[in-house]
Structure 1
Amino acid sequence: MVIPSTTLNNGIEMPLLGTGSYAPRQSDEVQPAIEWALEAGCRLIDTAASYGNEREVAEAIRSSGIPRSDIFITTKLWNEDQGHNRTLRAFNRSLERLGIDVVDLYLVHWPIKEHRHETWKVLEKIYTDGRARAIGLSNHYPAHINEILTEARIIPAISQFEFSPYSYLPEVLDYCRQKNIQSQGYAPLVRGQKQNDPRLVALAEKYGKSTYQLLIRWSLQHGVVTIPRSVKRERIRENFDVLDFVISEEDMALMNTFYDNTRIASDPREID
């Protein structure tokens, strides 16, 4: 299986489908889940300092035998580590835990107003020093990005946010397209909260797929880099078995109407 990729605004290639890695701290589920995802064809792994599992992700990659150059690794800067010196220290710690010299993508995890510009300037330095192949933002909506862009020298390559039909904000996708920023969506499966939605169940039956597969495919067809997460081997395989069907335009439009602002994380629109 070859997963399609997208070209970011700095010319690097990023897989359109990958895996998240969030799991409870001290969990022994992360390493096998990442190994199973790699086995299923995954080449994009999303982690974060705040998840407490960068070492487990690194060990899974090492044990897979897959060359480092074939795997796209994302990690993120936590809120308490923002600001000039703290950002640099946090970035170095992430690289050490991941066992790498260069990360493929480094994201600011959440918008923190008092450090917004200072933190982005540090990410720009990390990028220009060649220690991150791309830099971007997580949980930043257009108002936050616009503020950063007033002083930024480098446009973010990625804007990562929660993305499912139930949190679908077309104006956010439109904004990212206009700014030439690639959208990336996390929690496409809404942590199972909508798996029994009768509308979703009916569509899944129509396509002979699971509701989870339908949600992933919907996200991909919006051109959004998608990172479903699971710690179950069969579910992980299912998450990557979504490239053999296409949701019709009519059904995509129908799913676009499912919005009810169901989220598994805080709504960034509430953050100044």
Structure 2
Amino acid sequence: MTSKILQETTKLSNGVQMPVFGLGVWKSSNKEAAESVQTAIKNGYRMIDTAKQYGNEAGVGYGIQKALVDNHLNRKDLFVTTKIFNGDQGFESTLENFNEQLDALRLSYVDLLLIHWPVEGKYVDTWLALEELYNSGKVRAIGVSNFDEANLADIENLGGLMPHVNQMEFNPLIQEEHLLNKMNGLGVAMEAWSPLGGGEALSNPDIQAIADKHGKSTAQTILRFDYQMGVITIPKSAHEERIIANSEIDDFALSEDEMATIKGLNQEKHTIWHQDFAWHKGSEETGVKDEVSSWPDYDEYLTKKVEY
């Protein structure tokens, strides 16, 4: 039986209904992404999150089209997110390259488009391009990723649209308390990348004790914590049993004391942050080039035909 969590949505500030739980495909090859997307949709998932920087938009696009056919679904049944590649940032470059992303995804529009990282000197112009794409109808909602309070203030000062979503690292070890409060005041929804927190959180004895009490895994307990914190979550897995298990968090609830215990694990420690990230200053300064289209199996899935 499909988890009710997979059917639940939250209303963004522009009225668009966004699922509260979906599938992420970071660090997946095109083959892995195509297969996990098909598996997830078959098992009731309706939200898929990818990015050009992951190098697997082509695999995701194939997986989406195959799953729509196999499960007798329509495009409108899915909520698809992608992100602007850091090497594409800037007003004109964002507009020029986004159509290629749509082609790779085999879509005429995406439901949510994010700025992947706040590249210095470019993210404001990139945001203006996202506003144009939003007004054109190619995007149903726009947002940002890895934006701190100062970055959000720069967008707010433009006096135009505020991001509908900010996708941040969020899990028991990094709970973004101050940022979350700021976002709540601005009407910006929080979405979590790395919602499980990796090995340190998954092996935490306090979380394990809570999981044992409910007869759940530590992963399910953490995902339930994220959900009760009001954070949209997109755990990644390439295994069907884990894809299914991740969503099975609707049949238990964490008590106030259990929530407080997990909140007490907060270290506000990012595993990666843009000041230490290769793309922080953009491609011109770092010399990093857009090699996404040459990643293994990208071209294969870009041209692979879906059997109807």
TM-score (norm 1): 0.95
| Matching residue of 2:51 | 48
Structure 1: gaps of 5 or more residues: none
Cα deviations across residues 175-200 of structure 1 (Å, max 9, x unaligned)?
A: 11100111111111123342221111
Letter in 2 for 1:190: G
Instruction: Give the Å deviation of 1:264.
Output: 3.8
Runs of 4+ in 1 over 3 A off after TM superposition: 261-264, 267-272
Instruction: Give the Å deviation of 1:263.
Output: 3.8
Structure 2: gaps of 5 or more residues: 282-308
| Matching residue of 2:118 | 111
Cα distance in structure 1, aligned partners of 2:195 and 2:82: 18
- Across the aligned residues of Structure 1 and Structure 2, the Cα RMSD in angstroms comes to 1.8
In structure 2, the CA distance between the partners of 1:33 and 1:262, relative to structure 1 (3 Å rule), is: farther
Cα distance in structure 2, aligned partners of 1:262 and 1:214: 20
Instruction: Give the Å deviation of 1:152.
Output: 4.2
**Which protein shows a greater Rg?**
2
| Matching residue of 1:231 | 238
Q: Which of residues 223, 248, 255 in structure 2 aligns to 1:248?
A: 255
Q: Percent identity?
A: 35
In structure 2, the CA distance between the partners of 1:24 and 1:109, relative to structure 1 (3 Å rule), is: same
Cα distance in structure 1, aligned partners of 2:138 and 2:67: 24
Q: Which of residues 27, 39, 44 in structure 2 aligns to 1:23?
A: 27
| Residue 5 (str. 1) matches residue 12 (str. 2) | no
Q: What is the SS of the residue equivalent to 1:136?
A: strand
Cα distance in structure 2, aligned partners of 1:135 and 1:256: 29
* Worse overlay, 60-69 or 175-184: 60-69
Instruction: Give the Å deviation of 1:233.
Output: 1.2
Q: What is the SS of the residue equivalent to 2:150?
A: helix
Cα distance in structure 1, aligned partners of 2:60 and 2:123: 28
Q: Which of residues 202, 211, 217 in structure 2 aligns to 1:210?
A: 217
Cα distance in structure 2, aligned partners of 1:24 and 1:220: 24
Letter in 1 for 2:15: G
| Matching residue of 1:32 | 35
Q: What is the SS of the residue equivalent to 2:60?
A: helix
| Matching residue of 2:67 | 64
Q: Which of residues 93, 99, 106 in structure 2 aligns to 1:92?
A: 99
Q: What is the SS of the residue equivalent to 2:82?
A: strand
Q: What is the SS of the residue equivalent to 1:194?
A: helix
TM-score (norm 2): 0.84
